[in-house]
Structure 1
């Protein structure tokens, strides 16, 4: 073992060693489940069907099927918690139930016996089959499917077999319903309802486009058609008969499922929290009372041990973008906020040593130069390092961010990407820039050059999978190819595809492991991909021999060959957490300590090192020797703020060094990731802990665990049990602070992930209330956010909801909701000066300033609004949901979804929105301080201002216990015992 060497940067000592270091901290004990029964009498977005045999009512409440007698009473749960059903309906004989189910990872039409004891898939394949509807004779089921590319109506025999396509238009058709004679099927197309003659294919428009939107048609036995219409006043039931449309029933919060005909004159449906029966002749309605009981299994587990004070060396796991040199002898990578080169088997050496944000190092084909991105000149630009002379040369200086450089084979050109998700090239000699691919909402992967320099390959999101795009530079022509049938590259980051230097292979990570795909010179596949590793594998890079590949395995480096057979690259080094030698006295005019609703006055807070030593009445005669005094006698001290829903790596390459400074300058001393590129996340956490980067504490997670279809670049599709085990190994080895499962992740796997996470002492989160809350998931993101279903507010909110089911499940299950109030941007109209704040001027990019200004114009009614911008009415409605959750005893914590919402500023707007529309200031303040610390399992260290706690403090002018907007009037922010002013933070970018 070599002797360690040390370097001190910003108070952090870094040690390098080849010793094998432990890869995990002490783990928590086995979780102990606690069962909680929750009985509810109202439902939010419940779907209803009736049995033709005996009138039994079937309803889907929060993803659990129940049956209840026709006259109401105690409901019986059927079908289990893993069925994940949607759009239920009885067969004409009442013996079977058809549902749309995601139980096995794809939407299938699934049949369930009426007692719920057995179920089986009727459709199969890598397609989404949705919205089942029984034929009148019970022999067929019509459904929507994308199995032909678009969305069409299909039918399938209930005994099985191949589905038959019914509609063939280029438009999307869905939500079918059979006519009583079985000759035609009505469905939704755009904002109309059409009907197709099954035998002839003749299409007739029944309900033309009008105001609002239409959905959920349902034929009656005598030829009437019910459907739903949604407008500004809510959602109502309408009935079409012989071309005439009228509203039936007075309910305006009708849930977005078909109103089912129990007779030619009677409709049964869900609305306003109830099961409703409406007579379409008289228009009178009654409700069917029910009592439905959920059994929740909530884990008690010990949070993982986090030692914020240790001075022991910690293993560096945050190795980002490692690249093997052409001669196979050296590795370049990012770690601890700098770039490093290490001989294979040797000690790493820094090639940058500054506070700038460097990323994406890449070797030239001859190994003489390294390209990378850095914001050392203010914004992220491309640089080239001459390895022999150690000279750095700036290549780009555009207004924005440039990163992900890739060398052309002749060394004359760099391909790269920018903040707008464009792919471009730059001529190194002249600086001339050419656009290769325009930007889009979807973030692409890093580009790679073909051996002849004629083609770029990169990962893009196509058909909800991470597929490979090949672009011919001379013509701009491009095509998308699958890495494997229905397969996805693991992430659109560093996971490939990467051309081998000889152009014969594309290497990439898929299903969590490395594959090589044989290709023609232009990247067109010439055979099937072949797996070459079996452990969790990311970030492949080639040696010049086109045979050897370097990759990351959960924070460790390994090599393999195209024929398999990997071996470890013993490259490990350590860092030490930053420990300031602070001896600080803060004289606070007011102190809100995080626990008492009322602030204390005229106190001294003594900070030694990184912790609060004492909080006591102010002593004007206190000895000053050896202490730094901070006069906050005209100010208020609070705990530092926490943003519990943040995607810190989503735009880290664009923000660079500004991001952490921006967050701190607004008093945010901790962030909680809810989905990020994992190796960048680990590197960020380590750099912030070591003090080599300025910013808040960072509680990280990796990519969201997702089903086989995905959208976001920070999600990982999981296709099978083997891969699930690999993803759990990554959670363990990289010491996640949280695991997030996303929209289409199977609920049985979600339960398994939760059990494993709790064994490690960490929480899990998702977008779903149930069955997540029944399976031990710890929290829910968003009051109502995007989901796997095709309607906007998922199961947790409707026009008038949430109702008692949501409130009780959240409260009794102790499942916190994060706010993510995009509608809070309307409060910019109350304080337009935000857009000209010095922090905004100095630390926002040009593009972020433009986006914030557009939000202000929207809020003032002077400009167009983006799809995420809200209205004052929406803001009031959102806060009404929060107030109802709080009144029920549920927990709400403040989060933003930044940078999808405005970084740092949006947390203050969330808090102001809550306060403006009636949440008491004490509850608002705790939502961003004590409650997040409790949720993260760090209440003994953070969240309040008390002796023994970490010194993460916010010092502001004004009194936020009466005026929440005072939280933005930051004078000082103290993180880990180190005080900084706003000027300190924005200084490098002023």
Structure 2
């Protein structure tokens, strides 16, 4: 547990680290510059409605404390003007007054875990009551004020515990296999009621006897609260019709009050008959005996610090060579003499101290190179035959052998010590072994949640790999003979940095596992079975990833785009110069495009019959069509029967999440649907940098890519492309990565502390880089630029967000987002319901050629779901959900806010989902002009490239889409792409599909 004193010292250490990072020049990315400090401006926003607000009632004077958007406000009993109290980053939840009114208990995330804290009624004097590497939730005071009951996972499950407020001593109250949550103390102090499943139970504290207070019924229950006389139990019951307030009295349960969107917090008793709670955007008061309800009016003002800062420069035209930083999956040869890696869409072999040699020369996808133990062969994955298969390359002769040929994908090969087998993974996240002599495959593990690459023990008996376990990235050891598995912590309550190329990797002598943890390389001593024989020791002090062993104790790793070597005992690292550069692709061409219609991105009504003059990669002019225009030396494109629009932008993708399973199809698919720009909101960093550089160099076919690395996350982590950050020092390392790998965006994720988020925003803005997250407040008050999803997952889970309740969004969210200038991305998973209007989309030639068999199955299931002919997936929504979500979009736009088109692909269907998002907005009432701008000009503006992209104007980059209809009148026509031009290079859809046309069918 970090104390306040240690946190202050950490801030000083971080400041020193940032100062050092800021002075680094030789290794900084070429397009970033250290800009002037951000210039904040304060924007006051006053609201009179609240989304998912919580209320606490003082037993002293009836005054209220309200948790509104994560900010505490005090309010007189009768309502009126609220006063902000408490620290900006207190991050409170579930507030409740002590019986004497002297303290307020909270569930607070201020230290990076949920713990119970108390504050004075004015929000000052914060005290930490519980501590540890676990979550303590839902505080409830004992009647005498000496204890607080809460839910905790400190013993692995969700049980009821109590803590002595003065001593901090804890006691476990329940220990059932099921989850027990939302405790409330009976007024006599002898029992605690809680939610179990969809019922309310009570445990006798003296005997441990459990009885049912509210029997299980339809829908879910939550937030029980005993009346002061112990005769009534108020609670919430929810279902598809909303969430209502219920009261159980003498065994009879009835609804009280007429509200259908009661917010998910305990209703607070003012006396034995009157309840105060949040509902339908208001503070509600209901008299239980009569059911009469009224509302307590309030107004609350937020002070938002919104940064003005110079965005980082993007040079789209220079042909100046740039150093390659996107080195993916490097592997040191067993003799230590060479490194194989992926860069610029090919595999390279680098003699240590020499110049890199290109091993592959094609437009197809390669990944995951791995040396055989004798150093004579390199295994890797490629889609050159249509699907992602494994190949073995003889290093001496350069001859290669295709090892797999299934219609699915095989990736992440690892050689057995004797060279007779490979371990690998497939598109279902299964780990298998392949006998090279017979070609027989054997499943070892899985499917798992995005495991890391396997590593084979030197004795051939065990596989080690990174897995998700207990909300952390841990080491799984699989015994190949017995099939048994076990997990090992890399350190106490620690995580591997990612589940990808960050290890664990077995040393040649079998005595150690190397991995990245806390963003540096560590070595864990182990016995032959992988069992640790001591604690892991840190061997690097800089941002370090992708360890790989050479002879003896040699370790190769990546430091912010540079290869370095060290030893397992530490010491000063040495550089391994790569010497690889690339130049930005820029066509030397002169093109005249005759457009029958041109929707330019700035005007609602298209122009007709114009000539778009493109020289190299930019639009020189747009003129009325001239039949007599001289065309000698020009390429003429007759689009007189087509509509030209700006290239589309998908503002929310995780492009590398499944790229290694999809390969070269991905970029071609996106372009074939008119998407010429994508923006990552979280990806494995080196794969993302490699992708951006390969696309910029023209070595890969696909949209231009605005990348970020792993999402910055707290100590608990779920996604493989999130990076757990546990200390201020590590945060400094991550910020060095942002600068030196030239991020286009920083994303902080669900459990990243808000005070760190504000610090990251300030530092990123100094580099000209925006920051985004899943949260509206307090990020909007401390410089965060954008919010992802209209309503997305949070650290409280899918069931709760401060910006969307069961009944929708209230005016606080709308006003804060609009007046604070924070755009939202759409990510309308419910737009899959649009497939009912156009089920033929799944039979489009682009889908048949460029979707993998697994992706086609997923899309087909979505069509059946939309038609009501099959089950729906977890993320699928229906037409009514789409209507409601687009209603939020309309309200945001009407208030002056900004909504940008994004999909969360590949969690949603790649490419198709962007068109479904746009169609859903149009179908349910957003003006088509606003819909189109959400995927063009407004997205370019948010990316900071409005001068170059987002509209068809003189001087801008030539990113154009040619469609068979007028999308300004019919948004469905936007998917009827015939040709696409990106950066001045024109491709027909048939040309994009050609390398894979027929291959998928033959592979099946």
Q: TM-score range by the shorter chain?
A: over 0.9
Distance 2:28 2:823 in 1: 33
2:5 corresponds to: none
Distance 1:261 1:846 in 2: 57
The counterpart of 1:807, out of the listed 806, 814, 827, is 814
Match status 1:551 vs 2:557: yes
Match status 1:234 vs 2:231: no
2:419 corresponds to: 411
- 1:569 deviates by 1.2
Match status 1:48 vs 2:55: yes
Distance 2:533 2:271 in 1: 60
> Where do 1:205-220 residues align within 5 Å?
205-220=212-227
Instruction: Tell me if the contact between 1:548 and 1:561 (Cα under 8 Å) persists in the aligned partners.
Output: yes
Secondary structure of the residue that 1:874 maps to in structure 2? Answer: helix
Distance 1:31 1:582 in 2: 40
2:337 corresponds to: 329
- 1:790 deviates by 4.1
2:568 corresponds to: 562
1:351 corresponds to: 359
1:161 corresponds to: 168
1:320 corresponds to: 328
Distance 1:542 1:886 in 2: 54
- 1:28 deviates by 2.4
Match status 1:82 vs 2:112: no
Distance 2:924 2:281 in 1: 24
1:428 corresponds to: 436
After superposition, the C-alpha distances for 1:173-219 in whole angstroms (9 at most, x for unaligned) are 11100001111111111111111011111011111211111011011
- 1:555 deviates by 0.3
The counterpart of 1:844, out of the listed 830, 838, 851, is 851
1:15 corresponds to: none
After superposition, the C-alpha distances for 1:123-161 in whole angstroms (9 at most, x for unaligned) are 001000000000111100000000011010000011132
- 1:635 deviates by 1.1
Distance 1:168 1:108 in 2: 20
1:467 corresponds to: 474
1:874 corresponds to: 881
1:897 corresponds to: 904
1:95 corresponds to: 102
Secondary structure of the residue that 1:815 maps to in structure 2? Answer: coil
2:15 corresponds to: none
Distance 1:205 1:22 in 2: 63
1:450 corresponds to: 457
Distance 2:313 2:125 in 1: 44
The counterpart of 2:659, out of the listed 652, 657, 664, is 652
- Count residues in correspondence: 970
1:4 corresponds to: none
- 1:801 deviates by 2.8
- 1:309 deviates by 0.2
Instruction: Tell me if the contact between 1:732 and 1:760 (Cα under 8 Å) persists in the aligned partners.
Output: yes
Distance 1:20 1:272 in 2: 56
- 1:23 deviates by 3.5
Instruction: Tell me if the contact between 1:594 and 1:639 (Cα under 8 Å) persists in the aligned partners.
Output: yes
> Where do 1:830-841 residues align within 5 Å?
830-841=837-848
Match status 1:342 vs 2:336: no
2:297 corresponds to: 289
- 1:22 deviates by 5.2
- 1:438 deviates by 1.9
Secondary structure of the residue that 1:682 maps to in structure 2? Answer: helix
Instruction: Tell me if the contact between 1:175 and 1:216 (Cα under 8 Å) persists in the aligned partners.
Output: yes
Match status 1:264 vs 2:272: yes
2:20 corresponds to: none
Distance 1:829 1:741 in 2: 36
- 1:450 deviates by 0.7
Match status 1:950 vs 2:934: no
Instruction: Tell me if the contact between 2:28 and 2:741 (Cα under 8 Å) persists in the aligned partners.
Output: no
Secondary structure of the residue that 1:883 maps to in structure 2? Answer: helix
Instruction: Tell me if the contact between 1:661 and 1:986 (Cα under 8 Å) persists in the aligned partners.
Output: yes
The counterpart of 2:828, out of the listed 800, 821, 826, is 821
Instruction: Tell me if the contact between 1:256 and 1:791 (Cα under 8 Å) persists in the aligned partners.
Output: no
Instruction: Tell me if the contact between 2:89 and 2:754 (Cα under 8 Å) persists in the aligned partners.
Output: yes
TM-score by length of 2: 0.96
- 1:936 deviates by 0.5
2:7 corresponds to: none
The counterpart of 1:757, out of the listed 753, 757, 764, is 764
Distance 2:893 2:264 in 1: 27
Distance 2:117 2:217 in 1: 34
- 1:799 deviates by 3.0
Instruction: Tell me if the contact between 2:792 and 2:798 (Cα under 8 Å) persists in the aligned partners.
Output: no
Match status 1:730 vs 2:747: no
Distance 1:118 1:606 in 2: 67
Match status 1:638 vs 2:645: yes
2:3 corresponds to: none
Secondary structure of the residue that 1:755 maps to in structure 2? Answer: helix
- 1:315 deviates by 1.0
TM-score by length of 1: 0.97
- 1:967 deviates by 0.4
The counterpart of 2:596, out of the listed 585, 589, 595, is 589
Secondary structure of the residue that 1:87 maps to in structure 2? Answer: coil
1:171 corresponds to: 178
In terms of mean alpha carbon deviation, does 629-638 or 784-793 score higher?
Answer: 784-793
- 1:162 deviates by 2.5
Distance 1:713 1:863 in 2: 30
After superposition, the C-alpha distances for 1:268-299 in whole angstroms (9 at most, x for unaligned) are 00001100010001111111111100000000
The counterpart of 2:780, out of the listed 773, 784, 796, is 773
The counterpart of 2:203, out of the listed 172, 196, 217, is 196
Secondary structure of the residue that 2:760 maps to in structure 1? Answer: helix
After superposition, the C-alpha distances for 1:709-766 in whole angstroms (9 at most, x for unaligned) are 0100000000000100000000000000000000000000000000111011010000
Instruction: Tell me if the contact between 1:50 and 1:56 (Cα under 8 Å) persists in the aligned partners.
Output: yes
Instruction: Tell me if the contact between 1:21 and 1:315 (Cα under 8 Å) persists in the aligned partners.
Output: no
Distance 2:984 2:167 in 1: 67
> Where do 1:858-937 residues align within 5 Å?
858-937=865-944
> Where do 1:942-981 residues align within 5 Å?
942-981=949-988
Instruction: Tell me if the contact between 1:785 and 1:793 (Cα under 8 Å) persists in the aligned partners.
Output: no
Match status 1:986 vs 2:993: yes
- 1:820 deviates by 0.2
Distance 2:681 2:798 in 1: 23
1:377 corresponds to: 385
1:16 corresponds to: none
Distance 2:663 2:167 in 1: 55
Secondary structure of the residue that 2:208 maps to in structure 1? Answer: coil
Secondary structure of the residue that 1:218 maps to in structure 2? Answer: strand
1:515 corresponds to: 522
Distance 1:931 1:257 in 2: 38
Distance 1:466 1:94 in 2: 43
Distance 1:379 1:81 in 2: 51
After superposition, the C-alpha distances for 1:35-72 in whole angstroms (9 at most, x for unaligned) are 00000000000001100000011110000011100001
2:1000 corresponds to: none
- 1:793 deviates by 4.5
1:603 corresponds to: 610
After superposition, the C-alpha distances for 1:467-517 in whole angstroms (9 at most, x for unaligned) are 000000011100011001100000000000000011000000000001100
Match status 1:130 vs 2:137: yes
1:705 corresponds to: 712
The counterpart of 1:717, out of the listed 724, 733, 741, is 724
2:860 corresponds to: 853
Structure 1 segments unaligned to the other structure (5+ residues): 1-18
Instruction: Tell me if the contact between 2:224 and 2:235 (Cα under 8 Å) persists in the aligned partners.
Output: yes
